[in-house]
């Protein structure tokens, strides 16, 4: 009679389990890397909005990010929330006249991400906040 023995089925199950154990972490890291790339784009777009605001008013005071620039990705579950930062405080409306910083805070599937949160200043300077030890800006956010 044809068919598979229990040993053959167990060998196939073991091979599938090993492949899954190797492939799944790589897949998750690939997804996280794409979310980090998307939030970089969103932060640059939000920084451009702030610069346009400053160009029209000669100050950042009163600036608020529009809803479409307050999260990344713009549709679906948020992986990052983007907010203005003054000192160490997240704010909704800018109160400082000549500088700004934007912070992308991890949310949803990115909460446990090793790279932490990304901050971009009006000068274009970027930094990691709350990242695990040993993480670098270049290693976490390509092109930084």
User: Would you state the pLDDT for residue 1?
Assistant: 64
Contact 120, 102 (CB under 8 A): yes
Give the pLDDT confidence of 67-87 residue by residue, as tens digits: 999 999 988 899 999 999 887
pTM above 0.75, yes or no: yes
- Ranges of residues in the chain with a pLDDT under 50 are none
Q: Name every residue whose Cβ is closer than 8 Å to that of residue 35 and which is 6 or more positions away in sequence.
A: 72, 73, 79, 80, 109, 110
102 by DSSP, 3-state: which?
strand
Torsion of CA 62, 68, 74, 77, to 10 degrees: 70
Q: Is residue 26 part of a domain?
A: yes
Domain housing 84:
6-140
What does the DSSP 8-state code read for residue 22? H
Beta carbons of 120 and 47 less than 8 angstroms apart = yes
Question: Does residue 78 sit within a domain?
Answer: yes
CATH of the domain at 106: 3.30.700
Q: Is residue 105 part of a domain?
A: yes
Q: What is the pLDDT of residues 89-109, one digit of tens each?
A: 677 777 777 888 999 999 999
**Residue 1 covered by a domain:** no
For 142, half-sphere exposure in the C-beta direction (CA atoms, 13 angstrom radius) is 8
- If one counts the domains in the chain, the total is 1
């Amino acid at each position: 009679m044809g068919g598979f023995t229990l040993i053959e089925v167990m060998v196939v199950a073991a091979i599938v389990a090993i492949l899954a154990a190797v492939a799944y972490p790589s897949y998750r890291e690939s997804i996280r890397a794409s979310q980090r790339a998307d939030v970089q784009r969103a932060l640059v777009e939000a920084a451009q909005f702030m610069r346009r605001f400053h160009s029209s008013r000669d100050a950042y005071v009163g600036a608020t990010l529009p809803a479409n620039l307050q999260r990344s990705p713009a549709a679906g579950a948020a992986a990052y929330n983007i907010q203005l930062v003054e000192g160490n405080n997240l704010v909704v409306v800018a109160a400082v006249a000549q500088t700004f910083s934007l912070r992308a805070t991890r949310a949803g599937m990115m909460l446990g991400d090793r790279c932490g949160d990304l901050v971009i200043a009006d000068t274009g300077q970027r930094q990691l906040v709350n990242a695990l030890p040993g993480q670098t800006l270049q290693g976490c956010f390509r092109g930084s």
